[in-house]
Amino acid sequence: MQTLESFVEGRWQAGTGAQATLVNPTTGEPVARCSTGGVDMRAALAHARDVGGPALRRLTFAQRGALLMAASRALHAQRDALIELAVLNGGNTRKDAKFDIDGATATLAAYAEWGAKLGETQVLLDGEGLQLGRSARLWGQHVWLARHGVAVHINAFNFPAWGLAEKAAVAWLAGMPVLSKPATATALVAERVTRILVDAQVLPAGALSLLCGSVGDLLEHLAGQDVLAFTGSADTGYLLRSKERLLRQSVRVNIEADSLNAAVLAPDVGPGSETWNLFLRDIVTDITQKAGQKCTAIRRILVPHERLADVEGELTARLAATVVGNPADEKVTMGPLATASQLADAKAGVTKLLGECDALLGGLSEPPLTGAAPGKGFFFGPVLLKVRDSARATLVHQHEVFGPVSTLLPYDGTAQAAAALVRKGEGSLVASVFSDERAFVRELVLAIGPWHGRLYLGSEAMAPYSPGPGTALPATLHGGPGRAGGGEELGQLRGLALYQQRVALEGDRAVIDRMFPPTPRAPSA
Ligand code: NAP
């Protein structure tokens, strides 16, 4: 069995002691093992801080952009090999695997282009300079400077390639070295991503480190110039953000956590219309893509009473056509959940929701499988639920089932009632509104916007071009308030703010202007 190594202090190191086992979720068979036992976390951080940091900060944005483009190309060249690993260790269909891997290369390429546009400068200005007193000589200008620490990235199991690359792209462009820790269960892809980048020698020494296995005492060595960006469950997020070391050192922490994303169908959208079809397509994609293990997936579906019967009928018919089984089989449209514990959590979550919902489709038992042996893998079929009483239901707004599960909530068709239900989620990554009536959309945007990082406005005009609400694009923000963790990532240059320090300069205008000529400006955080 393959042993995954960590890449720290500029070399590959196998961990000692007890090993975690990575499995193939289609068969339950082991595929690799890893451990971070014996890895010197303090030295790992020091190497990134002292070698990778200065090397990146010496470069201009355009030069960093060129590195990102080289990284994107190196990964794209190994796309097929990465897809195979995602099928093997993640239970991804080839389409799911491409979503993760192409998402990684596309995000690197997008930040590469923005780096090229920022040009041959190392410092970004924040807003206009301004006169501070009576004399025009006393001038104030805010600038952004790369932090001199390490960007520590702890990622969830569901996007091992994109998760690593989307965070790293932003940190590298900002000028910070990265130490990435993928979720152990699906680390095979992240390990290969790192190996490809190391072998291709596209990054300066120390710019990328990788931990395969647990974080050990890593966080006890973080300091005030470091950044911790975490994606995963709200419980782990809470544990990390409340660590005494991080609080005492004021380590900057960004949390991307649970999310009960809602989709609202407006009463103006009738069966058969473009917007109606977009609504159904987006929901089916979100339930089945990556077996519903997407932080942006639609979990709550709000439907006006008079449309409920039509939506129920169409959704159950479309979802019933899902072919569950071996993701390597071309006929299969949905693979297994990633781990045995995800399967157990999904079953427990649906059991909980059944306390206030009826099942319209699916259940707790293993669905019929294509190309896979029954009882071996971690399979769970699509589940569509409907709340018995929208006004009283609570669990559906609090408990995220991280699998192919979504719940219908009937409402009276007013934007006000829809907003009240959506807000019960207490903060999500994204909410979707499907309507061609501007007044309805505007009212909802104002009423639910502050509970979200992103709002997806589905309509007839945008339908042909839409990647769906489940796709986190590099140009728009990813993150959300409240339950979603309160974090912000991506959003074009806005994401750089996490990795840079905003500094106010007060002095002689002539000196400041000469040091930092008044272009370019960004980010606007
Ligand atoms: P998780 O159990 O919280 O694990 C996430 C990461 O944290 C893994 O790398 C894990 O490492 C690490 N970790 C766990 N305990 C830790 C500790 N005590 N100290 C330091 N690191 C620790 O979450 P998951 O099961 O992988 O992911 C599922 C959850 O993530 C879902 O709830 C989903 O909503 C959320 N999610 C959110 C987003 C978003 O962008 N908002 C995206 C994807 C997923 P090990 O694997 O080694 O334990």
Atom number in ligand 1 closest to CA 480: 41
CB of 440 closer than 6 A to ligand 1? no
Residue 377 and residue 97: Cα distance in Å, rounded? 18
- Beta strands 11-13 and 6-8 are antiparallel
List 5, 191, 212, 295, catalytic entry: 295
- Judge contact between 137 and 509, C-beta under 8 A: yes
Distance of CA 367 to CAs 141, 311, 314, 450, Å? 62, 23, 20, 39
Which residue's structure tokens are 């929701």? Answer: 353
In this structure, which amino acid lies at residue 246?
A: L
Closest CA to 348 of 409, 403, 287, 426: 403
Atom 13 of ligand 1, residue of closest alpha carbon: 236
Atom number in ligand 1 closest to CA 485: 41
Atom number in ligand 1 closest to CA 154: 9
Concatenated DSSP letters for 210-225? E--S--TTGGGG--TT
CB of 24 closer than 6 A to ligand 1? no
- Judge contact between 163 and 63, C-beta under 8 A: no
In this structure, which amino acid lies at residue 129?
A: G
Beta bridge partners of 131: 139
Atom 30 of ligand 1, residue of closest alpha carbon: 232
Atom 35 of ligand 1, residue of closest alpha carbon: 232
CB of 258 closer than 6 A to ligand 1? yes
Atom 4 of ligand 1, residue of closest alpha carbon: 232
Closest CA to 213 of 183, 190, 193: 183
Contacts of 265 by beta carbon, 8 Å cutoff, 6+ apart: 276, 279, 301, 302, 303, 304, 307, 311, 434, 435
For 430, the enclosing helix (H) or strand (E) is: strand 428-434
- What does the block give as tokens for 137? 């000589």
Closest CA to 300 of 442, 448, 436: 448
Residue 97: how many CA atoms within 13 Å on its side-chain side? 25
CB of 215 closer than 6 A to ligand 1? yes
pLDDT at position 341: 96
Helix, strand, coil tally for the chain in percent (to 5): 40, 25, 35
Provide the 10 A C-beta neighbour count for residue 27.
Answer: 17
Atom 32 of ligand 1, residue of closest alpha carbon: 233
Distance of CA 114 to CAs 71, 207, 481, Å? 15, 19, 26
Atom number in ligand 1 closest to CA 484: 41
Atom 8 of ligand 1, residue of closest alpha carbon: 183
CA angle 46, 50, 54 (to 5 degrees): 150
Residue 8: how many CA atoms within 13 Å on its side-chain side? 28
Which residue's structure tokens are 């190996």? Answer: 195
pLDDT at position 516: 87
Atom number in ligand 1 closest to CA 472: 40
| Cα-to-centroid distance, 401 and ligand 1 (Å) | 14
CB of 236 closer than 6 A to ligand 1? yes
Residue 337 and residue 97: Cα distance in Å, rounded? 14
List 5, 166, 256, 488, catalytic entry: 256
Q: Is position 295 annotated as part of the catalytic site?
A: yes
Residue 38 and residue 323: Cα distance in Å, rounded? 44
Per-residue pLDDT of the chain (525 residues; tens, 9 = 90+): 899 999 999 999 999 999 999 999 999 999 999 999 999 999 999 999 999 999 999 999 999 999 999 999 999 999 999 999 999 999 999 999 999 999 999 999 999 999 999 999 999 999 999 999 999 999 999 999 999 999 999 999 999 999 999 999 999 999 999 999 999 999 999 999 999 999 999 999 999 999 999 999 999 999 999 999 999 999 999 999 999 999 999 999 999 999 999 999 999 999 999 999 999 999 999 999 999 999 999 999 999 999 999 999 999 999 999 999 999 999 999 999 999 999 999 999 999 999 999 999 999 999 999 999 999 999 999 999 999 999 999 999 999 999 999 999 999 999 999 999 999 999 999 999 999 999 999 999 999 999 999 999 999 999 999 999 999 999 999 999 999 999 999 999 999 999 999 999 999 999 999 998 876 555 554
Closest CA to 382 of 284, 258, 265: 284
| Cα-to-centroid distance, 152 and ligand 1 (Å) | 14
Atom 40 of ligand 1, residue of closest alpha carbon: 256
Residue 176 and residue 501: Cα distance in Å, rounded? 11
| Cα-to-centroid distance, 28 and ligand 1 (Å) | 21
Residue 355 and residue 401: Cα distance in Å, rounded? 14
pLDDT at position 525: 46
Atom number in ligand 1 closest to CA 429: 41
| Cα-to-centroid distance, 273 and ligand 1 (Å) | 39
Tally helices (H) and strands (E) across the chain: 16, 22
- Judge contact between 291 and 380, C-beta under 8 A: yes
Q: Is position 256 annotated as part of the catalytic site?
A: yes
Closest CA to 86 of 33, 178, 162: 162
Strands ordered across the beta sheet of 500-508: 124-131, 138-146, 500-508
Residue 425 and residue 244: Cα distance in Å, rounded? 29
CB of 401 closer than 6 A to ligand 1? no
Which one of 6, 23, 154, 428 would you pick to mutate in the ligand 1 pocket, going by the greatest count of ligand atoms within 8 A of its CB? 154
pLDDT at position 227: 98
Residue 447 and residue 228: Cα distance in Å, rounded? 32
| Cα-to-centroid distance, 211 and ligand 1 (Å) | 14
Residue 190 and residue 323: Cα distance in Å, rounded? 28
Closest CA to 412 of 440, 376, 438, 385: 440
- Judge contact between 505 and 141, C-beta under 8 A: yes
CB of 183 closer than 6 A to ligand 1? yes
| Cα-to-centroid distance, 108 and ligand 1 (Å) | 23
Atom number in ligand 1 closest to CA 259: 34
Atom 10 of ligand 1, residue of closest alpha carbon: 183
pLDDT at position 521: 57
